[in-house]
Chains A and B, each alone.
Chain A
Amino acid sequence: MVSVLTKIFGIGNLETAEDVVQQAFIDAIRVWRLKGIPNNPSAWLFSVAKNKAIDIIRKNKFSVQYDFSEDSRILLTSEYTLATTMENLWKEELMKDDLLRMMFACCHPEISEENQITLILKTLCGFSTSEIAKSFLTSEETISKRLLRTKDFFRNKKIKLEIPSVEELKSRTHAVLGAIYLLFNEGYNSSQAEHLIRRDLIEEAKLLCKLLTENQYTQLPEVYALMALMCFHTARSDSRLTTDGEIILLPKQDRSKWNKQLIVEGNDYLNKASFGRAVTAYHVEAAIAFEHCKANTFEDTNWELILDYYQWVCVFYPSPITELNKIVAVMQVHGAEAALEEIAKITNKKKLESYYLYFSILGEIHLRINRKPEAKQYFLKALDLTQSKAERKMLMDTILMI
């Protein structure tokens, strides 16, 4: 709803759009409490929002805050065409495009990554400020400030809601995918203390990416690759935790619990991703995830191939996380000693040292070469670096077993 309304009022007036949605929900609560929930709640909400939008347009036709002189918005200022134009704007197929346009606006290159995601969660996923604050482990005040700054940016720069031109599309889509992937990762491996997996975030990320696969302008290979990657990862999510929310590591996961349908779906997306010359990090990460999904047992996993893939990713798209993943693959293929040598080769460890995973892997390596005291030290360090209850529990168990 916010994206349609933003199209109506202009992105500089994001607040107006949000107010209308909020008002519609308040009305809904009031009326539904008395009369019960209508047969088609979303249609009900849409029609309330439409009427509220019409009221605002009538009241503000000549205000400088809203610029109704541009594009088709002029038709909103005439009573002859106001109702019909409003009605047309809410057609489902158009609304999908509005969401896309909004996504691109949220991922404007001049907006910082964390602000992009904040805005996406707020305007596209309907998260409240406090929910976003929780997701980012920060205060509501910080989030409000971020949102305010981004809204000012939209207003001052007079950003338009549009799908970027062909020349820009690739780089702009890259930013959108980056934001979706971050959103997904936060859902898949939440930094929150209570829940390791946040299905709501995962679903939102997949939904947004799916939209990109459905629009002819954004059907790029990397879009399909990311979709495939997310399918493969979510296929395994049911086996990652016990019913008590404890972590089950890959070797011990019950592979029969993996969602076959999602694996098939992921495979379809991966096939669709293989046109053009682009091989992106998403392609390779999806290929890796697929190798895991393909193996019937942990021992069957083709670690040599996975190691090759990681080596490739580390060269072209280096990041601390892929570096760590590569080391895990080295350990599986060449053993713990080789993995230790590989770690020694990393020159810039500063960033790595803020990851619990880095110390957890070091602990695992030392455990395998039977250097228990060091292993324990590393696991303790890892323990310091994570908030997640499930991860802490797993590390504690390991330490106690040494």
Chain B
Amino acid sequence: MKEYLFLFRGGEAMDKERSPEKWQANMQKWMQWMGGLQQKGQLVSAQPLSQEGKQVKGIKKTVTDGPFMEGKEMVGGYLMCKAENYATAVELAKGCPILDDDSGVVEVREIQEIIM
């Protein structure tokens, strides 16, 4: 088993205030997908990320606000899971609810073991 990080970009923005039904249906989808991973013992952790942020840059450690990227490019959340290899990790990623919208992207990255 190897460890993978999924980065979520894009997808339909979910607003509980605007449409509670839609929000609930979406939450149900996340529950199903992640619940499945959990049952197979593959889920490590996952969190959505808020829109705003800070950036600390370079030697001077300059602090600026926000990623301020276009919505679709911004990382909106992550998930860590265990999988055999890239192929199976990608199969898992295909179930992500963020892909229900055509703008959704899941970036699948394997955790690198640093050779000592």
Contacts and interface: CB of A to CB of B under 8 A. Distances in A.
A78 B35 contact: no
B31 to A, nearest CB: 4
Given A80-B77, A83-B27, A75 B34 contact: yes
A75 B27 contact: no
A80 B46 contact: yes
B90 interface: no
A80 B34 contact: yes
B30 A84 contact: yes
A81 B45 contact: no
A222 B42 CA distance: 42
Contact of B35 (A79, A81, A83): A81
A394 interface: no
Contact of B48 (A75, A80, A88): A80
A182 to B, nearest CB: 39
B47 interface: yes
Contacts of B35: 72, 75, 81
Interface string A67-81: 000001011011111
A37 B45 CA distance: 40
A36 to B, nearest CB: 25
Interface residues of B, number: 14
Chain A at the B interface: SS class: helix
A377 interface: no
A77 B79 CA distance: 12
A85 B35 CA distance: 9
B28 interface: yes
Interface in B34-81: 34-35, 38, 43, 45-48, 77, 79
B109 to A, nearest CB: 19
Question: Of residues A74, A77, A78, A85, which shows the largest number of chain B Cβ atoms within 10 Å of its Cβ?
Answer: A78
A84 B48 contact: no
Contacts of B38: 72, 74-75
Interface string B76-115: 0101000000000000000000000000000000000000
A88 B32 CA distance: 12
B44 to A, nearest CB: 8
Contacts of A75: 31, 34-35, 38, 43
A27 to B, nearest CB: 23
A80 B28 CA distance: 9
Interface string A83-99: 11100100000000000
Contact of B47 (A72, A74, A79, A84): A79
A330 to B, nearest CB: 61
B28 A84 contact: yes
A83 B24 CA distance: 10
Contact of B43 (A74, A79, A83, A85): A74
A81 B28 CA distance: 8
B47 A80 contact: yes
B34 A81 contact: yes
A78 B27 contact: no
Contacts of B43: 74-75
Interface in A119-143: none
A84 B34 CA distance: 11
Question: Of residues B28, B30, B79, which shows the largest number of chain A Cβ atoms within 10 Å of its Cβ?
Answer: B30
29 contacts: A72-B35, A74-B45, A75-B31, A75-B34, A75-B35, A75-B43, A77-B45, A78-B34, A78-B45, A78-B46, A78-B47, A79-B47, A79-B48, A80-B27, A80-B31, A80-B34, A80-B46, A80-B48, A80-B77, A81-B27, A81-B30, A81-B31, A81-B35, A81-B46, A83-B27, A84-B28, A84-B31, A85-B31, A88-B31
Given A75-B31, A80-B48, A81-B35, 9 more contacts: A72-B35, A74-B43, A75-B38, A75-B43, A80-B47, A80-B77, A81-B34, A84-B30, A88-B31
Per CB-CB distance, the 10 closest pairs between chain A and chain B, nearest first, are A84-B31, A80-B30, A78-B46, A84-B27, A81-B34, A81-B31, A79-B48, A80-B46, A79-B47, A74-B38
